[in-house]
């Protein structure tokens, strides 16, 4: 069962900015080892928070203009949106599942 929504420049506004529920956008790349290492944890969190949070995945390699517009300069990056507004950002290869849980809980609080 695939829960994450694939987003790109064509559907970012609809899926993220106009979402009724909070959204975490996972910016990843096929060559990014830390991104790939975090994927199982992200997929687990999708299931754990299903119905309360939308998880969106954005392939940075295929969406360079959107990444530049959102000031995403390195991977992995996670942007947290609520009501169409970015309220939190995690960046760096040392992001852990616990960091993601803490950020999600703060967004949902």
Active centre residues (catalytic):
32, 35
Integer Cα distance of 60 and 1 in angstroms: 23
First-last CA distance in the chain: 27
61-64: long-range pairs with CB below 8 Å, 24+: 61/29, 61/30, 61/31, 62/8, 63/8, 63/9
Query: Which tokens is 11 given?
Result: 């559907």
Backbone angles phi, psi at 108, to 5 degrees: -80, -15
């Amino acid at each position: 069962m695939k829960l994450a929504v694939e987003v790109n420049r064509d559907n970012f506004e609809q899926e993220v900015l106009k979402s009724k529920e909070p959204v975490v956008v996972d910016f990843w790349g096929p060559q990014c080892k830390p991104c790939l290492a975090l994927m199982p944890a992200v997929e687990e969190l999708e299931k754990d928070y299903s119905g309360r949070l939308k998880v969106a995945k954005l392939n940075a390699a295929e969406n360079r203009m959107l990444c530049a517009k959102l000031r995403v300069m390195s991977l992995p990056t996670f942007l947290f949106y609520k009501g169409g507004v970015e309220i939190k950002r995690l960046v760096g290869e040392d992001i852990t599942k616990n960091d993601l849980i803490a950020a999600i809980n703060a967004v949902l609080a």
